[in-house]
Chain A
Amino acid sequence: MIAALHRNPLAVIATLAVSGALLWLMAHLVTVKPGVLFWISVLVLWALVWIGNDALSGISTLSPVATRFRNLAVPAIFGLTLLLLWQLVVKGFGISPVFLPAPSDIWVRFSTSFATLKADFIQTFLRAVLAGWAIGSLAGFLVAILCDAWGFLRRGLLPLGNLFAALPIVGVAPIMVMWFGFDWQSKAAVVVIMTFFPMLVNAVTGLEASGHLERDLMRSYGASYFDTLIKLRLPAAMPFIFNALKINSTLALIGAIVAEFFGTPIVGMGFRISTEVARFSLDMVWAEIAVAAIAGSAFYGLIARKQGERGDVQHEEISDGRGGDRGIDGWNGLGLCRGGDDPAQMGDAGPVCRLLRG
């Protein structure tokens, strides 16, 4: 049956559509403690969706456009199935919303508390995150230029930058709250410190990325330091700088939210999460998390897209192991870059994924 599916895209789509729709219907109709037959049919439908999705991922006779669509659809179907199962399990087993609210409840809460969520979003994201991210990244970039011009500073600051990038910097939040007050300025300050070092380390590395040949050429043109910087070395550094901007976008959101645990005015995403948790209204917490996830992904995606528009093909190559000389002693040619490029927090596994897809 699976082999037959592989040869017939239409059958795959039909299987997915029918089993998905039935699963959707069941998630809508489910009541507390349904019979065994119900759960068996859920499992069967889930298996069908799974097989369909597997077949979809295996179809190799697609046009490039369809392939791109397919590569988006496979994880999306997986995610939607997970949401449906979440809904089915929570409702079917009558799990208390104090433990885990159903996606439908979270959605209801999301739409009814939209005004609160919006105010929190403005306070945390539009004020603290964006300001801190911009100031921190800019400061890191400017210091990187200074480091580049003055080798002594680079040799002194870069090891410290690498050290700081691994430290739990978010711990400075209580100090910043003490210095800059309860409002968003203190959160922005935490974000500034968190985003400074990744940008510094990446930009310094990027400024060294242009080849000797190109630099020699610029010298033979009689180009000044600034000409070389602006026309050759900054463009060569752009993939690294964008990489740092992406890392910083995720760091900034986490930093601002966690910093709010240490004291805020009565608005903000971190404040809302900590107070609603204390009141056991987890649907609101999940709604806030959804906002954070959407905002974070959109922010990240926007920067990645700007980078894409610049046509930085170098990027993949770099995060695929050109950072080999950084932090990987003894091993030859290693994948993940160290020193601020914290893949766990940056979530930047796009290149890895693309690599795996071939």
Chain B
Amino acid sequence: MTLVATASRPSLPAALAAGSTLPVAIIVLITIVIWYAAAVPMNKVLTQPLIDAAGGGLLNTLSISWSLPRPVLPAPHQVLAELWNTVFTVEPWRPRSLLYHCWVTLSSTLLGFVLGTILGVALAIAIIHVKALNRSLLPWIIASQTIPILAIAPMIIVVLGSIGLTGLLPKSLISMYLCFFPVTIGMVKGLTSPDPMQLDLMRTYNASTSQVLWKLRWPSAVPFLFTSLKVAIAIALVGAIVAELPTGAQAGIGARLLNGSYYGQTQQIWGALVAAAVMSSGLVWLVGFIERRVARAMGAET
């Protein structure tokens, strides 16, 4: 048995090619090469006079195209340098630090995510227990999502600001509004996922509604909950970023994007984008990590 397994194990390069590591690496590499190459023609408007002044030549062209202070398309290493400068060379509590802005966005994301999850779960529990809510509220919840809520973000921020509500909470409310929907839908499905046989068994035990909820429905809904949470946390971040746009852009990833856009600070925009991407995938990974731990604790097959 062991022998067969050893014999049939492919060599390392073959294993890499069969999996997705090597293909992903190659495609990322190709993207970087194209990125560097594209920086030359895209920055041409800005670089042409400089190149002419330097006497032309390929080497001059490349070095000038890849080191502009405000390029149309910054080269990858310029983005990395921007990240290095704004993350590691400034104290994290200074407004110049990217970490400071990340934290501003992250805190409202997380608050909104928690509030949205609580609201979503509460709504789902109400919906499955009250028949009238099921028919009248659920379609309305779905209809509420046809409104492009991100478009209302500026209005909510301004309106709440006019009644003295500023800072973290208005942004979190937008994240919450975006979050609760996938959680409600997922949980309604999850809480109704036990089959009639299991529900009948609970009835023969003379279980109360709350016992059915906590001992049968809730455990069956946990996988649905986590799938919804992964979706929810990603859009909570988008909500927080967009909510930062109309606040006069003092702090946060959205503010970095808007400021960069106003003052033509391309590298700042790219740095903020990378930070947003890292936070987004990190948060989704974190929820996935907790999901795996919970799954193991609940005895799911992995």
- Interface, chain A (partner B; CB < 8 A): 50, 53-54, 57-58, 74-75, 77-79, 82, 98-100, 152-160, 163, 166-168, 170-175, 177-179, 250, 253-254, 257-258, 261-263, 269-270, 273-274, 277-278, 280, 282, 285, 288-289, 292-293, 296-297, 300, 327-332, 334-336, 338, 342-345, 347, 349-350, 352-353, 355-357
Interface pairs A-B: 9 shortest CB-CB: A156-B23, A174-B261, A75-B139, A331-B223, A57-B135, A156-B27, A54-B132, A78-B136, A347-B145
The answer to the question of B148 belonging to the interface, with a C-beta cut-off of 8 Å to chain A, is yes
Q: Are B266 and A175 in contact (CB under 8 A)?
A: yes
Contact A54 B131 (CB under 8 A): yes
Give which listed residue, A159, A166, A174, A335, contacts B189 with CB less than 8 A.
Answer: A335
- A240-B296 Cα distance, complex, nearest whole Å: 32
Bound: A289/B151 CA distance, A? 8
- Determine whether the beta carbon of A171 is less than 8 Å from that of B24: no
User: Which of the listed residues A100, A153, A328 has the most CB atoms from chain B within 10 Å of its own CB?
Assistant: A328
Contacts of B24 in A (CB 8 A): 155-156, 159-160
List the A residue with the shortest CB-CB distance to B224: A335
Main secondary structure of the interface of A (DSSP, over half): helix
Are B188 and A356 touching (Cβ within 8 A)? yes
B186 interfacial by beta-carbon distance below 8 Å: yes
Cβ-neighbour of A328 out of B138, B155, B227, B280 (below 8 A) = B227
- With both beta carbons as reference points, the residue of chain B lying nearest to A55 in the complex is identified as B132
B182 touches A336 (CB 8 A): yes
Interface status of B8 (Cβ within 8 A of chain A): no
CB atoms of B192 and A171 under 8 A apart: no
B143 within 8 Å of A (CB atoms): yes
Structural contact, B223 and A57, CB atoms closer than 8 A = no
Can you list 17 A-B pairs, Cβ within 8 angstroms, ordered by A? A50-B132, A98-B162, A156-B20, A160-B27, A160-B28, A171-B273, A173-B257, A257-B148, A261-B258, A282-B155, A288-B151, A292-B151, A293-B148, A330-B301, A336-B186, A345-B235, A356-B192
Whether A171 touches B272, Cβ cut-off 8 Å, given contacts A250-B148, A349-B142, A353-B138, is yes
Flag the segment in B51-59, B87-95, B209-217, B240-248 that touches A: B240-248
Q: A175-B266, A296-B148, A297-B146 are in contact. Are A74 and B302 (CB under 8 A)?
A: no
**B143 vs chain A, min Cβ distance (A):** 7
The reply to whether the CB of B253 lies closer than 8 angstroms to some CB of chain A is yes
Q: Which residues of chain A are near B227, meaning CB under 8 Å?
A: 327-328, 331, 334-336, 338
Chain A residues with Cβ under 8 A from B140's Cβ? 75, 78-79, 82
Q: Which of B161-216 contact A (CB under 8 A)?
A: 162-163, 178-179, 181-182, 185-186, 188-190, 192-193
| Complex: chain A residue closest to B179, CB-CB | A344
Q: A171-B253, A179-B72, A261-B154 are in contact. Are A332 and B132 (CB under 8 A)?
A: no
B245 contact set on A, CB distance < 8 A: 258, 261-262
Contacts of A344 in B (CB 8 A): 145, 178-179, 181-182, 231-232, 235
How far is A99 from B134 in the complex, measured between Cα atoms in Å? 31
Of A153, A277, A353, which one neighbours B158 at CB under 8 angstroms? A277
User: Beyond A99-B159, A155-B23, is A254–B150 a contact (Cβ under 8 Å)?
Assistant: yes
